Structure 1
Amino acid sequence: MGADDKLEAKGDQLKGKVKEGIGDATNDPGLQAEGSAEQSKGHLKEAVEKVKDAFKKD
């Protein structure tokens, strides 16, 4: 996994977690959903990079 891609994926996950937490604290369902979606985006990017790495090793 490229270091830049890994950091970007983790950054998306962290930003999403923060947004979701703020949405919970302020009772803002829109912000909660946005945070959850951003976390999912980060997880998906991380999974794609892991698949890429698996094919590079062969």
Structure 2
Amino acid sequence: MKEFYTVEDIEKILGVSRAKAYKIIRSLNQELNEEGYKTLKGRVNKIKFDSRYIYKGERNEVV
């Protein structure tokens, strides 16, 4: 099971463009940095992403 989502994962999950996916990752990673966590460029912690983006209905599972 993945601990981090990549830009491709975010694109699939949210159905957004690559530019928007990168913007989302940067925003979430900035929040994590402000909370004192280290981050990886171009990847976002799965738990942080899932806690900020709530889904209704069936969700595409990324493996």
**TM-score, normalized by length of structure 2?**
0.36
Q: Which has the larger radius of gyration?
A: 1
Greater per-residue helix proportion: 1
Greater per-residue strand proportion: 2
